[in-house]
Structure 1
Amino acid sequence: MSGMLDVGDRLTTDSGDDVEVTGMLGSGGQGEVYRVRTPHGDKALKWYFPSCATPEQRKIVEELVSRDFDDRRFLWPHAVVTGGGSGFGYLMDIRPDRFRSLPDLFRRRLRTTPTALVTAGLNTVGAYQTLHSRGIAYRDISGGNIFFDPANGDVLVCDNDNAVVEGEASGISGTMEFMAPELVRGDPGAIPGTQTDLHSLSVLLFMLLMNHHPLKGRAELAIRCLDEAAEKKLYGRNPVFVFDPDDGSNAPDPQEQSTVLATWGVLPPVLRTLFVRNLTQGLRDPSRRVRETEWCDALRAVRDTIVDCAGCGRQNMTEPTSVRARDCWYCRSTLVLPPRLVITTAMLKDERHLRLRRSARVHAHHLRDEPATYDYGDDTVVAELVEHPQKPGRFGLANRSATTWSARRSDGTAQDVAPGRTVPLRSGLEIDLGGARAVVHAE
């Protein structure tokens, strides 16, 4: 092993626990990451290069450790680690193998689905929303700091030692292609914070869903050498969204960038509207940037209305409230829209629309007025679409909750649906899901 530390080296945490180096996991711009043995099991240790092991960086890490932030979407610093001399690092959990890097996705090295991508976007926004709600700015949101599970869209935010309390100045501004224009230009008074995080987040979401950078159109193709000066012009001095409705100077080239044109064409309008606002008005006025709650609402709505093409089986994103079927993005056959379940929450009367595709599920967050998280795990299911075991093609909604439902058919007849029981699916069926009202609509 060639690195700053050797196998067998012994270090100590700030609480006095022994740490033994057992191998190297990788390296980055600030330091190296090692697998270590601790009294609490194997962990990952980030050990800083001497040039990065500054008193300022140590203060940041100590502040993050003291917050005891427990969120499974983050590889958060658990403890400061020191050894001989002035070197230091911090402990975090080891990233499971199922999580893959976004660059692998951008280079088309892995297979995934629209559902997993939209879920990953929703989980990413939710993760940063939680961080911002605690007064912490990440400062370096980029494709290199997010890992996701291509099977289900779970995310892990790594390199959290760049996060600081909102308003604190520091040497980290971010990765150029994700940085807010005011930071790229170096505007007076501009410092990394939650407002600049919102720009970085929109760039990340665009790349996640479109596999293309939102500011790289004809202008980028015309650059012969994408050096620092050219990047500052592209991302800071003259940034233009590739789909700016009022400025076509940086539109995608139909020959060289045809994929992003096709992908944008099938993106639901509810998401296109937010991207246009954030990457036109938000480029010039930070106060106009899309907030996390808006992204969450739109991404959740799109995820819940993804349908499978009856012709080729490919997943298609649809506009959540639309009753008009469009063509499949892959085989061009007309989509068949399954029934829609419209859930109205108890207090705020917000509507959530779910397409009842095969094995569709209603989760606990669908019933809440202002959910803190959007968890699609098995343990949050309250209702599930099931097929009749003896009558193929006949479906019902199974009660997976612990509460008895009150259901009313379109003819006015009523029935109770106990936990574990199923109510046949019919247009006009109305169900009280424990306070939230759900109605089945057949398109």
Structure 2
Amino acid sequence: MSGMLDTGTRLTAESGVELQVTGMLGAGGQGEVYRVRTASGDRALKWYYPACATPEQEDIVQELLARDFDDDRFLWPSTFVRGTHPGAFGYLMDIRPDRFKGLPALFRRQLRTTPRALLAASLYMVEAYQALHSRGIAYRDISWGNIFFDPATGEVLVCDNDNAVVEGDASGITGTMEFMAPELVRAVPGARPGTQTDLHSLSVLLFMLLMNHHPLKGKRELAVHCLDEAAEKKLYGKEPLFVFDPRDSSNEPDPVEQSTVLHTWAAAPQVLKDLFTHNFTVGLHDPAARVRESQWRDALRAVLDAVVDCAHCGRQNMTQPEETTAGTCWSCGGTLVLPPRLVLTTPAPRAERHLRLRRAARVHAHHLVPEPTRHDYSDATLVAELTEHPRKPGRFGLANRSGTAWTGTRSDGTTQQITPGQTVPLRSGLELDFGGARAVVHPK
């Protein structure tokens, strides 16, 4: 593949880093991305097409660099690189690891993943954009082309961050039509890309990630003979209608052509359905009423902790948090059996967490604090883990994977210390003191 920069081209970044082009990684709408060799290892170089290498785009990149936003969930521009030809420029960033895959591959069913991983990816994605918004930066082009995830863990990486701007800046792009807020699609006077329009785009992406379908593409889209720009403006801006709008079924999914979303919606817990319905009814017309990142975060965390395994086929199922009945498995139709529930209470300001004790269930550090700055379900934050007795199948205990001792209180009032590495048998009514946070085992 030939590009604007030849293999072997040498450039010097404004930071003084010397780099040599070793090959092309890919190309997009604004430019090309190259692998480059530096003294500290290989990096990625985004290089703009001449038509996109405008003074306005340079100002945006320089502003992003000046903000020094350091977050490992973003492939953020790290240093500016100017070319040998007048007006040519680009920037350096880290290379995306191979384990992170694009969402289009997920929607084409080319990736193997799980409901837990998709929920984790949704949660991590919400928190990533929340971190960006908290710094006064609007992304403006949240879409399926700009985020990658690890199908095994749900970890996310946000790419193409050179369109993000300080909130209120009207320069640059407005977004991708399918993900743009209706007021931007309609070009409402005074409407401009910002955190409020990001919230709409984020909800569209969450719906696609969890429901495998666009929230506004129902029978109306199938009736369009030519999905040109005028038709898209009608679907996404002038007459947007949620496929599950409770008051208007004229855009409901076609049971043959769009059956997937009917099944995924039926399997979704009510707490997520309620947020999606609000955002794609009231939120379509009132930007101030859109679901906030904190609302998505709390709901996604609760549902992720309430995932259970079907005893018949082993598939993971999302369940309504705190429910005592779970219905049937989305895959085999068998009746779901709810495992015991660990109810954790954090120190003040008091918050409650409900964790289903499915096989290999885990308690993480974020479960024990009232308002975690970031959720992390990796091994690095593991506090406790449900384990099966090696010689007594069907007998389970909670293993201490932390660095401190717990106090356990049985239903008869007797207590015991659970030191790091020890396991306490799982019994209904068992109370645990994690050294601040407390927990009680409930039968359902």
Structure 2 length-normalised TM: 0.98
Q: Is the 8 A contact 2:56 2:172 kept in 1?
A: no
Cα offset, 1:325, TM superposition: 2.6
Quote the residue 1:191 is aligned against.
Answer: 192
Q: How many residues align?
A: 443
Spell out the pairing of 1:247-258 with structure 2 (5 A cutoff). 247-258=248-259
Q: 2:192, 2:74 → 1: CA distance?
A: 24
Q: 1:50, 1:260 → 2: CA distance?
A: 41
Q: 2:441, 2:132 → 1: CA distance?
A: 37
Quote the residue 2:273 is aligned against.
Answer: 272
Quote the residue 1:294 is aligned against.
Answer: 295
Quote the residue 1:13 is aligned against.
Answer: 13
Q: Is the 8 A contact 1:13 1:79 kept in 2?
A: yes
Q: 1:61, 1:305 → 2: CA distance?
A: 42
C-alpha offsets along residues 230-286 of structure 1, whole Å, 9 cap, x if unaligned?
Answer: 000100000000011111111111222111111101100010000001111000101
Q: 2:435, 2:299 → 1: CA distance?
A: 25
Q: Is the 8 A contact 2:270 2:320 kept in 1?
A: yes
Mean Cα deviation higher: 215-224 or 253-262 = 253-262
Q: 1:46, 1:66 → 2: CA distance?
A: 18
- Confirm or deny that 1:149 pairs with 2:145: no
Q: Is the 8 A contact 2:163 2:172 kept in 1?
A: no
Cα offset, 1:403, TM superposition: 2.0
Quote the residue 2:3 is aligned against.
Answer: 3
RMSD: 0.9
Cα offset, 1:296, TM superposition: 0.7
Q: 2:345, 2:234 → 1: CA distance?
A: 47
Quote the residue 2:203 is aligned against.
Answer: 202
Which amino acid in 1 is paired with 2:24? M
- Confirm or deny that 1:304 pairs with 2:316: no
Quote the residue 1:367 is aligned against.
Answer: 368
Q: Is the 8 A contact 1:10 1:83 kept in 2?
A: no
C-alpha offsets along residues 20-57 of structure 1, whole Å, 9 cap, x if unaligned?
Answer: 10000110000000000112210000000001111111
Q: 2:359, 2:211 → 1: CA distance?
A: 26
Which amino acid in 2 is paired with 1:404? A
Q: 1:389, 1:16 → 2: CA distance?
A: 58
Q: 1:16, 1:435 → 2: CA distance?
A: 49
Mean Cα deviation higher: 415-424 or 17-26 = 415-424
Q: 1:325, 1:57 → 2: CA distance?
A: 51
Quote the residue 1:283 is aligned against.
Answer: 284
Q: 1:377, 1:110 → 2: CA distance?
A: 21
Quote the residue 1:62 is aligned against.
Answer: 62
C-alpha offsets along residues 105-127 of structure 1, whole Å, 9 cap, x if unaligned?
Answer: 11111111101111110111010
Which amino acid in 1 is paired with 2:412? D
Cα offset, 1:353, TM superposition: 0.8
Quote the residue 2:49 is aligned against.
Answer: 49
Partner SS state of residue 354, structure 2? strand
Spell out the pairing of 1:334-349 with structure 2 (5 A cutoff). 334-349=335-350
- Confirm or deny that 1:178 pairs with 2:179: yes
Partner SS state of residue 115, structure 1? helix
Which amino acid in 2 is paired with 1:3? G
Identity of aligned residues (%): 73
C-alpha offsets along residues 156-213 of structure 1, whole Å, 9 cap, x if unaligned?
Answer: 1000000001111113100000000000000011010000000000000000001100
Quote the residue 2:38 is aligned against.
Answer: 38
Quote the residue 2:417 is aligned against.
Answer: 416
Q: 2:392, 2:255 → 1: CA distance?
A: 50
Q: 1:320, 1:433 → 2: CA distance?
A: 23
Partner SS state of residue 63, structure 2? helix
Runs of 4+ in 1 over 4 A off after TM superposition: none
Q: 1:324, 1:388 → 2: CA distance?
A: 27
Mean Cα deviation higher: 426-435 or 385-394 = 385-394
Cα offset, 1:348, TM superposition: 2.5
Cα offset, 1:389, TM superposition: 2.1
Q: Is the 8 A contact 1:140 1:162 kept in 2?
A: yes
Q: 2:109, 2:96 → 1: CA distance?
A: 21
Spell out the pairing of 1:391-410 with structure 2 (5 A cutoff). 391-410=392-411
Partner SS state of residue 200, structure 1? helix
C-alpha offsets along residues 357-408 of structure 1, whole Å, 9 cap, x if unaligned?
Answer: 1111000001111111010110101111111222221111111112221211
Which amino acid in 2 is paired with 1:237? K
Cα offset, 1:300, TM superposition: 0.8
Q: 1:399, 1:190 → 2: CA distance?
A: 53
Q: Gaps (5+ residues) in structure 1? A: none
Q: Is the 8 A contact 1:100 1:150 kept in 2?
A: yes
Which amino acid in 1 is paired with 2:3? G
Q: Is the 8 A contact 2:320 2:326 kept in 1?
A: no
Cα offset, 1:414, TM superposition: 1.3
Cα offset, 1:416, TM superposition: 1.7
Cα offset, 1:420, TM superposition: 1.7
Mean Cα deviation higher: 212-221 or 392-401 = 392-401
Quote the residue 2:80 is aligned against.
Answer: 80
Q: 2:66, 2:435 → 1: CA distance?
A: 40
Quote the residue 1:328 is aligned against.
Answer: 329
Q: 2:83, 2:19 → 1: CA distance?
A: 10
Q: Gaps (5+ residues) in structure 2? A: none
